[in-house]
Amino acid sequence: MPYRSVNPATGEVLKSFPEHTDQQVMDALATADQAFRTWSARPFSERSKIIGRCAQILLKRKEELARLATLEMGKRIAESRGEVELSASIMQYFANHAEAFLAPKTFKSVTGDARLEYSPFGVLLSIQPWNYPYYQLSRFAGPHLMSGNVMLLKHAPGVPQCALAFDQVLKEAGVPQGVYTNLFLSNDQAGALIDDPRVKGIALTGSERAGESLASRAGKNLKKSTMELGGSDAFIVLDDADLDHTVAMAIVGRFGNNGQTCIGAKRFIVVESMLKKFLAQFIAAAKALRLGNPLDESVTLGPLSSDAALQLILRQIQEATSQGAQVLLGGKRAGQVGAFLEPTILTNVTPDNPAYRQEFFGPVALIFPAKNEEEAIAIANDSPFGLGGSVYTSDIERGKRVASRIETGMVFINYPDVSAPDLPFGGVKRSGYGKELSNLGLEEFVNKKLILVPTAAA
């Protein structure tokens, strides 16, 4: 697959890059394998200075990096700036806290003096998506470089300039050669790396199909993997929700990042007593979104990431409506230039409709009425996915009780989604397994080694 920058707002091809050759890939792996020996031996204090400098450089180059993300995948420029800032905060967080998180721990045991030590795995292979081209990289690189691992990075083919820019930030910060290597890989080359015994762990953020393929190949090789896959998050509106706030959050949750967020709100489950008022306000707010060039500060909804992404979601809408779904708003391509889709709201999506169990990765909201709280929970859990979700209520304790019954890796109260360096990120069911961020994410690719001095009785 070619690595090409195509501006999705205009269709203009910006740059193209050839894939690395098989020999270049094997040379990069050999360099990484050798670099691990010296990088892992460095004290935390040295690694911390370098990763902290990465954070500083990201902030220094914020405008340049933000513009590049907007040009390559269509993110609104204000959101691109926010992503760079979040990426910097992740790098700085792990620079500050990794040593404490990975400090040896003692614990009581009747068998003797027990101690747990943490040590890095070695070379990791990471495969990342286009929708958050810096955040995805930072949430992998920050913790796992700080733990002493080294990595080969395959970014999405649509954001090669962002991939190179992040790689350059790390080099400028002083990350040694071989510790972090961006590679323009084919799928076959990525598979060959998984098979290579020098690669010790695999992390993917991507589609279910990619997850099935890579997880099975990692399993065949008995290698640790983490998978952050699709999501179709429930947005549950209870009968005591603050409607104005809830609708504002519905717009943020569904149309943020042009609707292309794994943990974006996608299934709006509204108790019947609130449904009419919610729909009236939600439709009006969605209509008010301004489509256009995402570099324009006044634009509130940009394009999808590519024409292919647009065509896929148009096919999903057509299939959904052919099976009985009703279009309340939008449903069509907007204009003839660029990958723009009208803000779209669908209802009457029944369980026998394919759309009921699909992820819509774009500005499409699905509406599901629920008789009461119990039915809302049942609808939320009737999904193959289990990434995130949110609950809207004036009673926070009630919201927590409902959240405890939602079968996902994350649930948010009165807000659609949050990602922060100190919060674990990850899902269940077909949304994948493993955690990123926080101390839990940091521990995914380290050996937790028990060292025991038994008592005489043991």
Active site residues: 228, 262
Beta bridge mates, 270: 237, 369
In the predicted model, is pLDDT for residue 104 greater than 60?
Answer: yes
Sheet containing strand 199-205, edge to edge, reads 180-182, 150-154, 123-127, 199-205, 224-228, 432-433
pLDDT exceeding 70 applies to what percent of the chain?
99
Mean local confidence (pLDDT), 402-419: 97
pLDDT exceeding 90 applies to what percent of the chain?
98
Same domain flag for 51 and 16: yes
The residues, ordered by sequence, that sit 6+ positions from 454 with a Cβ below 8 Å of its Cβ are: 111, 112
Domain assignment of residue 107, yes or no: yes
Same domain flag for 193 and 239: no
Mean local confidence (pLDDT), 321-345: 97
Same domain flag for 161 and 215: yes
Q: Which domain holds residue 239?
A: 233-413
* Distance from C-alpha of 258 to C-alpha of 74, rounded to nearest angstrom: 8
Beta bridge mates, 205: 228
Same domain flag for 217 and 324: no
458 confidence band (pLDDT: 50, 70, 90): low
Q: Are the C-beta atoms of 81 and 45 separated by less than 8 Å?
A: no
* Distance from C-alpha of 183 to C-alpha of 18, rounded to nearest angstrom: 10
Domain assignment of residue 268, yes or no: yes
Q: Output the pLDDT for position 1.
A: 64
Burial of 213 (0-12, 13-18, 19+ CB in 10 A): middle
Domain assignment of residue 420, yes or no: no
393 confidence band (pLDDT: 50, 70, 90): very high
Beta bridge mates, 6: 13
Q: Output the pLDDT for position 2.
A: 82
State the Cα angle at 33 between 201 and 194, rounded to 5°. 35
Mean pLDDT of the chain: 97
* Distance from C-alpha of 367 to C-alpha of 357, rounded to nearest angstrom: 13
State the Cα angle at 6 between 62 and 22, rounded to 5°. 95
Domain assignment of residue 386, yes or no: yes
State the number of CA atoms in the 13 A half-sphere of 353 facing the CB.
Answer: 21
Q: Which of 445, 5, 436 is nearest to 184 (CA)?
A: 5
In the predicted model, is pLDDT for residue 17 greater than 90?
Answer: yes
Question: Residue 54 sits in a domain of what CATH number?
Answer: 3.40.605.10
In the predicted model, is pLDDT for residue 457 greater than 70?
Answer: no
Same domain flag for 16 and 41: yes
* Distance from C-alpha of 23 to C-alpha of 31, rounded to nearest angstrom: 12
Q: Are strands 233-237 and 389-392 parallel, antiparallel or unpaired?
A: parallel
Domain assignment of residue 162, yes or no: yes
Same domain flag for 242 and 323: yes
Instruction: Report which DSSP code applies to 417.
Output: -
Can you list the pairs that 321-330 forms with residues at least 24 positions away whose Cβ atoms lie under 8 Å?
A: 321/346, 323/350, 323/352, 323/353, 323/354, 323/355, 324/348, 324/350, 324/353, 325/349, 325/353, 325/355, 328/279, 328/283, 328/367, 329/283, 329/286, 329/287, 330/286, 330/363, 330/364
pLDDT tens digits along 31-79: 999 999 999 999 999 999 999 999 999 999 999 999 999 999 999 999 9
Mean local confidence (pLDDT), 146-158: 98
SS3 label, residue 156: coil
Question: Residue 392 sits in a domain of what CATH number?
Answer: 3.40.309.10
pLDDT tens digits along 249-281: 999 999 999 999 999 999 999 999 999 999 999
In the predicted model, is pLDDT for residue 436 greater than 60?
Answer: yes
Domain assignment of residue 171, yes or no: yes
Domain assignment of residue 418, yes or no: no
Q: Are the C-beta atoms of 154 and 127 separated by less than 8 Å?
A: yes
Domain assignment of residue 425, yes or no: no
456 confidence band (pLDDT: 50, 70, 90): confident
Q: Are the C-beta atoms of 257 and 411 separated by less than 8 Å?
A: no
Q: Which two tokens stand for residue 59?
A: 């902030």
Total domains in the chain come to 2
pLDDT tens digits along 187-238: 999 999 999 999 999 999 999 999 999 999 999 999 999 999 999 999 999 9
Same domain flag for 276 and 188: no
* Distance from C-alpha of 426 to C-alpha of 224, rounded to nearest angstrom: 16
